[in-house]
């Protein structure tokens, strides 16, 4: 009897040690992810300075978001733009400032929990509520994972608050349910040298957008050039410089929003 009790005690102790070890591993894994996620790709200082200095544009950086607004005309169009995974919102200020310089637009680039839009896919609701004064029509959009999450957010909405979707180096999944949404205006801009949202994958997911969605590929542009945060692991070398990539991106996006 004593022998059986000792064996049970050893088994219970072993299980306790195993449970503790698993708990510690889980804590370390979660902690490691948090440290990694909370150290995002930061905006290149030069690009942020140029965004702030763009004539006819105001760039406001807050704890909650980066807001890029045209000042040459009242912004009647708004865009809530979700950053890519582990990319700081400031990294998109320069290309959006180029859009705002020629188009009357207000762009809200929100900060996401742990820098991942997947943790707050409906963040656009609060952004629109906080920055909606004077805006007549709203779009949602994003870069990379941010674009996919914006598409998912839009797929769950049937009201007329948001009229369209802006995808940069991204695509909508089938689960977003946008393929039959003829009420939405959609643009998808890709880069021929994108090594993450590569052209083949973007084209493969094209049927997940409405039939009349606008698609445009910028020749020579890679994934990181949809923002201004330096090189990104897994990307391909670009064939054009950042300035040219951003001007081409701004031109096609601005033309779409001006329709």
Task: Flag whether pLDDT at 24 surpasses 50.
Answer: no
Average pLDDT over residues 135-150: 98
pLDDT digits (tens, 9 = 90+) for 81-90: 999 999 999 9
pLDDT digits (tens, 9 = 90+) for 53-70: 999 999 999 999 999 999
More confident residue, 131 or 5: 131
Task: Flag whether pLDDT at 26 surpasses 60.
Answer: no
**CA atoms 38, 150, 119, 232: torsion sign:** negative
The C-alpha atoms of residue 164 and residue 237 are separated, in whole angstroms, by 31
CA-to-CA separations, 246 to 25, 47, 227, in angstroms, rounded: 43, 11, 8
Strands of 170-259, DSSP E = 185-191, 214-218
Name the superfamily (CATH) of residues 42-258: Alpha/Beta hydrolase fold, catalytic domain (3.40.50.1820)
Angle at 88 between CA 81 and CA 45, to 5 degrees: 115
The C-alpha atoms of residue 178 and residue 166 are separated, in whole angstroms, by 13
What are residue 240's phi and psi, to 5 degrees?
-130, 160
209: three-class secondary structure by DSSP: coil
pLDDT for residue 231: 97
pLDDT digits (tens, 9 = 90+) for 180-194: 999 999 999 999 999
Average pLDDT over residues 1-25: 53
Mean pLDDT across the chain:
91
Residue 124, C-beta contacts closer than 8 angstroms, at least 6 positions apart: 80, 82, 110, 138, 140, 150, 153, 162
225: three-class secondary structure by DSSP: helix
Residue 11, C-beta contacts closer than 8 angstroms, at least 6 positions apart: none
pLDDT for residue 33: 46
Task: Flag whether pLDDT at 125 surpasses 70.
Answer: yes
For the chain, what are the domain ranges? 1-39, 42-258
Angle at 37 between CA 42 and CA 67, to 5 degrees: 45
What angle in degrees, to the nearest 10, is found between the helix axes of 93-102 and 45-53? 20
More confident residue, 101 or 156: 101
Residue 76, C-beta contacts closer than 8 angstroms, at least 6 positions apart: 104, 134, 135, 136, 137
pLDDT for residue 23: 52
pLDDT for residue 157: 84
The C-alpha atoms of residue 113 and residue 40 are separated, in whole angstroms, by 12
pLDDT for residue 158: 78
pLDDT for residue 28: 47
**CA atoms 166, 169, 170, 171: torsion sign:** positive
The C-alpha atoms of residue 215 and residue 195 are separated, in whole angstroms, by 18
């Amino acid at each position: 009897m004593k022998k059986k009790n000792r064996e049970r005690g050893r088994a219970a102790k072993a299980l306790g040690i195993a449970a503790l070890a698993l708990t510690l591993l889980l804590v370390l894994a979660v902690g490691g992810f948090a440290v990694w996620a909370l150290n995002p790709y930061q905006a290149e200082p030069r690009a942020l300075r140029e965004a702030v200095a763009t004539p006819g544009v105001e760039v406001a950086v807050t704890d909650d978001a980066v807001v890029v607004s045209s000042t040459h005309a009242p912004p009647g169009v708004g865009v809530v733009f979700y950053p890519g995974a582990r990319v700081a919102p400031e990294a998109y200020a320069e290309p959006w400032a180029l859009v705002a310089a020629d188009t009357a637009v207000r762009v809200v680039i929100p900060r996401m929990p742990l820098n991942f839009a997947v943790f707050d896919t409906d963040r656009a609701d609060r952004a629109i509520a906080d920055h909606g004064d004077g805006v007549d029509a709203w779009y949602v959009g994003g870069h990379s994972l941010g674009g996919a999450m914006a598409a998912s957010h839009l797929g769950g909405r049937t009201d007329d608050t948001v009229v369209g979707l802006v995808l940069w180096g991204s695509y909508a999944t089938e689960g977003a349910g946008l393929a039959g949404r003829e009420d939405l205006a959609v643009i998808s801009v890709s880069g021929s040298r994108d090594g993450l949202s590569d052209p083949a994958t973007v084209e493969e997911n094209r049927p997940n957008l409405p039939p009349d969605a606008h698609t445009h590929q910028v020749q020579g542009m890679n994934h990181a050039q949809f923002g201004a945060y330096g090189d990104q692991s897994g990307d391909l070398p670009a064939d054009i410089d950042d300035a040219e990539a951003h001007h081409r991106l701004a031109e096609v996006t601005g033309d779409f929003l001006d329709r």
